[in-house]
């Protein structure tokens, strides 16, 4: 732990300097008034010197103290893990040197390296490096062929679905995909899970209106944001149920935003766990798995944090994930994205 | 496509070290009625202040009509008050009673610059507006003569005329099941169909599910659940229902009359004739909420009745006697009956000092009080200031202060208003303590939902005085 070397803070020396300067001017004023009182001369200098104190204080407050406090507040928010956006565009910078350090820190946190360091991304890259996708697809196609020859249509269907799932997950390297393809991937994932759960699981995807469905046909969303959330809903919510688990995706469009709500009727989570999860979503250190903001976290929490992280890195802090849940009453995960139809639109939105 | 009217995104507000809004996220669509249920009352005032005054926030952002109007980054915020046209309907905002409805709507709004007011023009303008929004009211009626529902409707209409795209309704004090509430809520839906959005705040989940498209439950200063209309099931909402089966069992009342109103008339009070016995709890149900201030003036002896007599323990009430046996706890006492510049212990002793002036001389007697009441109030009794204490502790201070004073009669003015479920149970237990001591209790309330659960009898107040009386039991409290 660093020692408190507050006596070396320049801010304190700065304040002490202002106080000392005012004290000197006050002493000068007193001397001038004494001079005036004793020999009747020097009234104007005395008045000017006296008037200068409030003028200096007002100017100091407007041009030094208030800007300093605002910058200090933004730096404090950054150090507590609330925000990175504020420090990237500070209205008043402390000094050139300090700003260089802050900019460098922000670059490290917001760079492509940070995106690529998120665990799930690393996992997919590792899979891609270690597995020859064509070998995988050819093998699955072979299994499908054998299954069809033996009349096992169910196995053939599942193999085909698995192949499509892997093609989407591994092969496609784009950051943004259409909403339709993301939903198609979720449906494939559901079909695969249906083989395990049977009638105990249902999935429902609905748009608020047919007009929204048409308007969102070309909408672009980050790849692999829905399937991890649905997977989370199944594993942590629905799996423990003794009745049929329902997972639904409700899509709303506001003109400038796309809101995707993934709901389940599962076991929900306690208030404590919910708070921990939401805090991890909002804390920048938690999002990058750094320091005390990261927490120990369950795998489900890591998946959601990963999705949230990518959204915020791409589009800024105004978008991301919010989780609402109650123990025994299910969970809602609300994903807010900007409405864009081209990748270049995303560049205008981010931090 | 649904336009978003209001969005609070990860808003955090801290006051006196306590996070009142903690990562609070909410959005409202155009023409939507969104219910807000604050399970523990934390953050309610802060949220209303944020929406109506655009107060500074510690983190997050607020968007209105898709435009960012508030942000933790001061450089990205706009001037408070200039950004959002958000109306506010509540019991405290009110209308000007001596002006007509049309004058309240058109004259008392920003931007009105005329010096000469033509009443007939106003009335005809109001008629056209009322027809447009389906409001069946006469613009020439004085605001003081409006029913509660009509008053709220006019406040909402005034907000619409003022250009508000979003209106916050807070604790519209009309009881669930009352036709007045149905009338108000039907009007809210008519406004919503015309594209006006509402955030409806209430402590009664039944009130919210009757009118809202969605209900957001807030706990610990953050939204923990949003329930859509299609999901309004007992299972999803059971946690938010108040069950009178959990309230404490109250002892039976005695027969000695403590407080007697003998054909008393004063202001809105017309020939009140009733008595409250020792250990009895009587609810004076004033649906139109008209008699509170008059009752307060009479019982604190600031005014004398125009006719009739008020007797305390058989003797006529006066400022020196009678009134001294009465304790009066106003509505939301944590706002007006707590002295933030005094310590909690001093707050507790202030009333007892009226009987024992030497309480302020030395600390020995106050130390005895502190030790004796620590078990009831907890460690908050040692706090240097009541600021930042939870609501339960503040209510403890107010009620225990009167408990130490030991009045013969306790008068409670709307004791459950602006309280959440937990706090209501707590207040009921505090009332039960007075009943155990055989204190006569008179509750003046415009809602019976909670007050009836602690009362033995209910007196129904109408235009011509007390129009009815009902005996109450535990089961009756929920009707």
The per-residue DSSP string of A154-202 comes to HHHHHHHHHHHHHIIIII---SEEEHHHHHHHHHHHHHHHHHHHGGGEE
Contact B236 A325 (CB under 8 A): no
A271–B223: do the CB atoms touch at under 8 Å?
A: no
Q: How confident is the model at residue B244 (pLDDT cuts 50, 70, 90)?
A: very low
Chain B CB contacts of A215 below 8 Å: 1
A82–B72 CB contact, under 8 Å = yes
- What is the reported pLDDT for A130? 61
Q: What angle do CA B397, B401, B405 make, to 5 degrees?
A: 170
Percent of chain B with pLDDT over 90: 24
Q: Looking at chain A, list the stretches that DSSP marks H as alpha helix, in order from N- to C-terminal side.
A: 10-39, 43-60, 66-79, 85-88, 96-110, 112-117, 119-130, 133-149, 153-166, 179-197, 210-215, 226-232, 271-282, 284-287, 299-315, 343-347
Q: Do B2 and A279 touch (CB under 8 A)?
A: no
Decide: B117 and B103 in contact? Cβ < 8 Å: yes
Give CA–CA dist A68/B388, Å, rounded.
Answer: 29
Could you read off the pLDDT of B51-107 as tens digits, one per residue?
A: 988 888 888 999 999 888 888 876 555 555 556 788 888 866 678 888 888 888 888
pLDDT above 90 coverage of chain A, percent: 21
Q: Sort out which chain B residues have CB atoms less than 8 A from A75's CB and list them.
A: none
Model confidence at B472: pLDDT above 60: yes
Beta-bridge mates of residue B86: B166
- Which of B26, B60, B72 would you mutate first to test chain A, the one with the most A CBs within 10 A? B72
Average pLDDT score over chain B: 83
Q: What is the mean pLDDT of residues B396-416?
A: 91
- When computed from its CA atoms, the radius of gyration of chain A, rounded to whole angstroms, is 30
Whether the pLDDT of residue A122 is over 60: the answer is no
First to last CA, chain B: 42
CB–CB contact A325 B225 (8 Å)? yes
Instruction: Count interface pairs A-B at CB distance under 8 A.
Output: 72
Residues 6+ apart with CB under 8 A from B21: B11, B12, B13, B43, B46, B47, B50, B57, B221, B222
- To the nearest whole number, what is the mean pLDDT of chain A? 80
- A222, exposed or middle or buried, with CB in 10 Å at 0-12, 13-18, 19+? buried
Lowest mean pLDDT among A110-124, A174-188, A325-339: A110-124
pLDDT at residue A300, rounded to an integer: 57
- Please name the residues in contact with A192: beta carbons below 8 A apart, sequence gap of 6 or more: A158, A161, A162, A165
What pLDDT was estimated at residue B235?
A: 66
Tens-place pLDDT, residues B371-399:
888 877 777 888 888 887 888 889 999 99
Rounded to a whole number, what is the distance in Å from the CA of A325 to chain B's nearest CA? 6
Would the CB atoms of A85 and B3 count as touching at under 8 Å? no
| pLDDT for the residue numbered B386 | 86
Q: Give φ, ψ of A264 to 5 degrees.
A: -140, 160
Residue B452, Ramachandran bin (φ over 0: left; ψ between -120 and 50: alpha; else beta): alpha
Q: How far apart are CA A182 and CA A256, in angstroms?
A: 19
How far apart are alpha carbons A272 and A275 in whole angstroms?
5
The answer to whether the CB atoms of A326 and B74 lie below 8 A apart is no
Alpha-carbon distance values, B288 to A48, B78, B175, B414 (Å)? 65, 40, 11, 13
Q: Does domain A201-347 have CATH number 3.10.20.310?
A: no
- How far from each other are the two terminal CA atoms of chain A, in whole angstroms? 32
Smallest Cα–Cα separation from A342: which of A220, A216, A174?
A220
Q: What is the DSSP letter of B46?
A: H
Q: What is the pLDDT of residue A294?
A: 47
Task: Report chain A residues whose CB lies below 8 A from the CB of B27.
Answer: 259
Identify the band that residue A137 occupies on the pLDDT scale cut at 50, 70 and 90.
Answer: confident
- For residue A41, give the 3-state DSSP assignment: coil
Nearest Cα of chain A lies from the Cα of B26 at a distance, in angstroms, of 10
Q: Give dist(CA B323, CA B317) in Å, integer.
A: 6
DSSP characters over B152-163: HHHHHHHHHHTT
Q: Quick check: B474 pLDDT over 50?
A: no
Find the angle CA(A301)-CA(A305)-CA(A311) to the nearest 5 degrees.
155
- Determine the average pLDDT of the residues in B36-41: 82
* pLDDT tens-place string over residues B103-131: 888 887 777 777 777 888 888 888 888 98
Write out pLDDT tens, residues B69-85. Answer: 888 876 555 555 556 78
Question: Does the structure show a pLDDT above 60 at B407?
Answer: yes
User: pLDDT per residue over A321-342, tens digit each?
Assistant: 999 998 888 899 999 999 998 7
Least CB–CB distance from A274: residue in B61, B224, B236: B224
ipTM of the complex: 0.70
The pLDDT of residue A76: 80
Q: DSSP letters of B312-381?
A: ETTEEPBTTTBGGGEEEE-SSHHHHS--TTS-HHHHHHTTHHHH-GGGGSSSHHHHHHHHHHHHHH-GGG
Confidence class for position B283, pLDDT limits 50, 70, 90: very high
pLDDT at A15 over 80: no
Contact by Cβ (8 Å): B430, B261: no
Chain B residues touching A74 at Cβ < 8 A: 73
* Torsion of Cα atoms, B15 then B16 then B18 then B19, to 10°: 20
| Chain-chain contact of B224 with A215 (C-beta, under 8 angstroms) | no
Confidence of residue B195 (pLDDT cuts 50, 70, 90): very high
> Is 90 exceeded by the pLDDT of residue B284?
yes
Distance of CA B108 to the CA centre of its chain: 24
Burial of B428 (0-12, 13-18, 19+ CB in 10 A): buried
Closest partner residue to B219 (CB to CB) among A70, A212, A271 is: A271
User: How near does any CA of chain B get to the CA of A347, in Å?
Assistant: 19
Among B143, B158, B189, smallest CA distance to B85 is for B158
The pLDDT > 70 percentage for chain B reads 87
Report yes or no: A81 and A286 within 8 Å, Cβ to Cβ: yes
Highest-confidence range of A46-55, A148-157, B246-255, by mean pLDDT? A148-157
B311 in Cβ contact with B260 (< 8 Å)? yes
Interchain proximity B25–A322, CB inside 8 Å: yes
Per-position DSSP letters for A95-140, written without gaps between them? -HHHHHHHHHHHHHHHSHHHHHHSHHHHHHHHHHHHS-HHHHHHHH
Tell me which residue in A86, A256, A326 faces B224 most closely, judged by beta carbons. A326
Pairing of strands B166-170, B197-201: parallel
Q: Where are the domains of chain A?
A: 8-82, 201-347
pLDDT number for residue A235: 85
Q: What is the number of alpha carbons within 13 Å of residue B145 lying toward its C-beta?
A: 10
Residues of B within 8 A of A259 (CB-CB) are: 27
Highest mean pLDDT out of B14-23, B86-95, B305-314: B305-314
Nearest CA in chain A to B63: A318
CB contact under 8 A, A208 and B2: yes
Close Cβ partners of B73 (under 8 Å, ≥ 6 residues apart): A74, A83, A85, A86
Cβ neighbors of B120 (< 8 A, separation 6 or more) are none
**Are residues A86 and B1, on separate chains, in Cβ contact within 8 Å?**
no
Task: Please name the residue of chain A whose CA is at the shortest distance from the CA of residue B66.
Answer: A256
Q: B12-47 burial, b if ≥16 CB within 10 A, otherwise e?
A: bbeeeebbbbbbbbbbbbbbbbbbbbbbbbbbbebb
Using an 8 Å CB-CB cutoff, list chain A residues near B222.
Answer: 275, 278
Closest Cα in chain B to A256:
B66
- Name the residue with higher pLDDT: A299 or B439: B439
Most confident of A75-89, A116-130, A335-349: A335-349
At residue B208, the 3 state secondary structure works out as helix
pLDDT at A346 over 70: no
CB of B56 within 8 Å of a chain A CB? The answer is no
* Domains along chain B with CATH numbers: 4-95+146-241 (3.40.50.300), 245-339+406-478 (3.40.50.300)
Give residue-wise pLDDT tens across range A211-258.
Answer: 999 999 889 999 889 999 999 898 887 777 777 889 999 999 999 999
**Between residues 229 and 258 of chain B, which touch chain A (CB distance below 8 Å)?**
235-236, 239
Q: Which residues of B touch A78 (CB under 8 A)?
A: none
Q: Is the pLDDT of residue A43 over 60?
A: yes
Residue B160 has pLDDT above 80, yes or no: yes
Alpha-carbon gap, residue B163 to B82, rounded angstroms? 13
The C-alpha of A260 sits at a distance from chain B's nearest C-alpha, in angstroms, of 13
């Amino acid at each position: 732990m660093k020692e408190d070397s507050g006596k070396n803070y320049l801010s304190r020396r700065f304040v002490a300097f202002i106080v000392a300067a005012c004290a000197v001017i006050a002493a000068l004023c007193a001397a001038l008034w004494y001079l005036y009182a004793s020999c009747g001369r020097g009234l104007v200098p005395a008045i000017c010197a006296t008037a200068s104190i409030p003028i200096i204080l007002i100017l100091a407050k407007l041009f030094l103290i208030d800007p300093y406090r605002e910058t200090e507040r933004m730096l404090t928010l950054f150090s507590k893990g609330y925000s990175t956006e504020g420090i990237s565009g500070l209205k008043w910078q402390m000094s050139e040197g300090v700003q260089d350090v802050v900019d460098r820190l922000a670059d490290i946190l917001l760079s492509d390296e940070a995106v690529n360091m998120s665990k799930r991304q690393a996992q997919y890259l590792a899979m891609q490096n270690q597995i020859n996708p064509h070998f995988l697809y050819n093998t699955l196609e072979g299994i499908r062929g054998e299954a069809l020859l033996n009349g096992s249509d169910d196995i053939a269907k599942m193999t085909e679905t698995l192949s499509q799932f892997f093609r989407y997950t591994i092969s496609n390297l784009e950051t943004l995909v259409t909403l339709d393809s993301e939903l198609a991937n979720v449906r494939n994932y559901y079909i695969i899970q249906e083989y395990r759960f049977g009638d105990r699981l249902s999935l429902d995807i609905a748009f608020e209106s047919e007009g929204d469905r048409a308007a969102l046909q070309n909408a672009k969303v980050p790849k692999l944001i829905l399937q991890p959330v649905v997977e989370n809903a199944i594993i942590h919510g629905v799996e423990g149920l003794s009745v049929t688990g329902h997972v639904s995706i409700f899509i709303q469009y506001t003109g400038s935003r796309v809101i995707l709500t993934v709901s389940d009727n599962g076991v929900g989570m306690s208030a404590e766990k919910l708070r921990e999860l939401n805090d991890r979503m909002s804390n920048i250190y938690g999002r990058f798995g750094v320091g005390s903001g990261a927490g120990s976290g369950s795998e489900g929490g890591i998946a959601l944090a990963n999705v949230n992280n990518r959204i915020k890195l791409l589009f800024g802090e105004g978008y991301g994930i919010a989780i609402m849940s109650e123990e025994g009453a299910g969970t809602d995960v609300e994903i807010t994205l900007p409405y864009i139809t081209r990748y270049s639109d995303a560049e205008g939105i981010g931090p | 496509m649904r336009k978003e009217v209001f969005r609070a995104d990860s808003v955090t507000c801290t006051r006196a070290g306590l996070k009142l809004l903690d990562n609070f996220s909410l959005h409202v669509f155009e023409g939507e009625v969104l219910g807000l249920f604050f399970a523990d009352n934390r953050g309610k005032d802060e949220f209303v202040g944020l929406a109506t005054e655009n107060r500074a926030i510690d983190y997050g952002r607020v968007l209105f009509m898709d435009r960012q109007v508030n942000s933790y980054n001061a450089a990205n915020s706009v001037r408070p008050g200039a950004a959002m046209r958000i109306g506010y309907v509540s019991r405290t905002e009110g209308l000007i009673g001596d002006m007509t409805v049309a004058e309240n709507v058109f004259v008392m709004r920003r931007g009105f610059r005329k010096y000469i007011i033509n009443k007939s023009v106003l009335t005809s303008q109001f008629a056209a507006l009322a027809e447009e929004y389906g409001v069946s009211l006469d613009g020439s009626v004085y605001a003081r003569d409006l029913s509660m529902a009509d008053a709220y409707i006019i406040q909402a209409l005034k907000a619409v005329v003022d250009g508000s795209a979003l209106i916050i309704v807070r604790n519209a004090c009309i009881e669930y099941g009352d036709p007045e509430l149905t009338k108000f809520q039907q009007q809210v839906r008519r406004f919503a169909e015309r594209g006006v959005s509402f955030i409806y705040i209430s402590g009664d989940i039944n009130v919210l599910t009757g009118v809202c498209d969605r209900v957001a439950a807030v706990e610990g200063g953050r939204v923990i659940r949003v329930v859509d209309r299609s999901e309004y099931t007992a299972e999803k909402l059971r946690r938010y229902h108040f069950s009178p089966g959990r309230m404490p069992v109250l002892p039976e009342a005695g027969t000695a009359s403590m407080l007697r109103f003998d054909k008393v008339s004063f202001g809105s009070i017309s020939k009140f004739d009733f008595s409250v016995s020792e250990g009895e709890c009587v609810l004076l149900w004033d649906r139109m909420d008209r008699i509170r201030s008059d009752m307060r003036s009479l019982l604190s002896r600031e005014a004398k009745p125009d006719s009739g007599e008020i007797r305390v323990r058989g003797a006529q009430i006066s400022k020196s006697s009678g009134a001294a046996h009465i304790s009066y706890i106003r509505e939301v006492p944590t706002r007006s009956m707590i002295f933030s510049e005094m310590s909690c212990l001093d707050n507790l002793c202030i009333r007892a000092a009226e009987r024992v002036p030497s309480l302020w001389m030395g600390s020995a007697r106050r130390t005895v009080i502190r030790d004796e009441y620590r078990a009831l109030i907890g460690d908050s009794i040692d706090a240097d200031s009541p600021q930042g204490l939870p609501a339960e502790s503040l209510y403890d201070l107010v009620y225990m202060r009167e408990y130490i004073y030991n009045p013969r009669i306790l008068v409670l003015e709307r004791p459950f208003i602006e309280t959440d479920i937990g706090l209501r149970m707590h207040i009921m237990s505090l009332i039960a303590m007075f009943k155990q001591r055989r204190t006569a209790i008179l509750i003046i309330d415009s809602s019976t939902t909670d007050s009836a659960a602690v009362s033995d009898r209910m007196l129904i107040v109408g235009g011509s005085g007390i129009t009815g009386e009902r005996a109450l039991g535990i089961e009756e409290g929920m009707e």
